[in-house]
Amino acid sequence: MINRRTSKTIYIGDVAIGGGAPIAVQSMTKTDTRDVKATVRQIKELQEYGCEIIRVAVPDALAAEAIVDIKRGIKIPLVADIHFDYRLALAALKSGADGLRLNPGNIGEPEKVKKVVLAAKERGVPIRIGVNAGSLPKTTSKKLSIPARMVGAALEQIKLLESLDFDLIKVSLKAFDVPTTIEAYRSIAKKMPYPLHIGITEAGTPRTGIVRSAVGIGALLWEGIGDTVRVSLTAPPREEVITAYEILKSLDLRQRGPVLVSCPTCGRAEASVIKLAQEVERRLQKIDRPIKVAVMGCVVNGPGEAKDADVGIACGKGRGVIFKKGEKVAVVAEKDFLTALMREVEGL
């Protein structure tokens, strides 16, 4: 059983973060925010995959203005990602952003941050203090370790926001390096009460990035650290959402969507199990019900795993046995494996 860290509850739009609320899954658009149609189209796709909060880049005033029209076309809360120019944060707030992400390493003078905080306070909009190991403030001592510098930068900003009587705060401390990220989060989790947004930044392409994210995010979640998750991949953003849910499901923290059990195959397999499992996985992606589906390839573990699933198939030479809720329901020819299995899944 995972004992989650106790944190303050804040709301991004209508999504609760912290305080025991379900760990929220978010992503970031990879479109030009100024292209409203493309951005809304991508967000709608992410909504279908279960994304609960979306972040958009705000590189200039036109992007900030586009938030108004983007919000009209989507159903989930929107966070504006701000770097360098505090005036863009003010513009995003005026356009209706539900949250802000500020990087203390590049916004600059405290007076600029104060202007943003006061405007966010007036509107009741939370701010994420987003510390990144690659862009730490120059004021942090280089004699300290990178995790210590990250924590120091975050605590300095927290102190500034609290001095303005602002506590709608969320914090992240991300690095590419997994041990650095874990150490930073472990440290700050003991030093402040605010919810934590976790992730491994610039994790890479799916093959390596999913592994790095699963190790780093999974380790933190196992320790009870983390209130909202973003997986960062050099890939379409739907892959980030899918991966985030798989990490959460593997730790029994969220149960959205199917769990696919499939054997790795070996010399005993007498059917194309890999191809079948890949196609089943593709078809399961948009199903949001928490069901268990098994695709197994031989008589050793196949029948047992297939029986244990809500729906499963134990494949043999030229034919397979389909089980549903532990009961054998059909014997099908190999050419019908996929259609017969999915028919039972869709009938649940």
Mean pLDDT of 215-223: 98
Token pair 């919810």 in the structure block, residue = 195
Mean pLDDT of 212-222: 97
Mean pLDDT of 262-281: 89
The percentage of residues in the chain with a pLDDT greater than 70, rounded to a whole number, is 99
DSSP 3-state of 25: strand
The CA distance from 129 to 100, in Å, is 9
The CA distance from 225 to 217, in Å, is 9
What is the largest distance, in Å, between two alpha-carbon atoms of the chain? 72
HSE-CB for 342 with a 13 A CA cutoff: 15
Q: Give 136-171 pLDDT, tens digit per residue.
A: 877 777 789 999 999 999 999 999 999 999 999 999
pLDDT for the residue 18: 97
Q: 135 pLDDT exceeds 90?
A: no
Query: What residues are paired with 327 via a beta bridge?
Result: 324
Q: 307 pLDDT exceeds 90?
A: no
The CA distance from 322 to 293, in Å, is 11
Mean pLDDT of 89-103: 96
Q: Judge whether 176 and 133 are in contact, CB under 8 Å.
A: yes
pLDDT for the residue 266: 85
Q: 324 pLDDT exceeds 70?
A: yes
The CA distance from 90 to 70, in Å, is 17
Bigger pLDDT: 1 vs 280? 280
Mean pLDDT of 295-316: 85
User: Mean pLDDT, the chain, as a whole number?
Assistant: 93
Mean pLDDT of 305-313: 89
> What sign results for the dihedral spanned by CA atoms 189, 191, 194, 199?
negative
Bigger pLDDT: 278 vs 271? 278
pLDDT for the residue 271: 85
pLDDT for the residue 105: 67
pLDDT for the residue 98: 98
Mean pLDDT of 96-124: 90
pLDDT for the residue 104: 65
Strand 327-333's sheet: what is its strand order?
Answer: 259-262, 292-296, 311-315, 319-324, 327-333
Q: Give 39-91 pLDDT, tens digit per residue.
A: 999 999 999 999 999 999 999 999 999 999 999 999 999 999 999 899 999 99
Mean pLDDT of 26-30: 97
Q: 103 pLDDT exceeds 90?
A: no
> Is the whole model's pTM more than 0.85, yes or no?
yes
pLDDT for the residue 160: 92
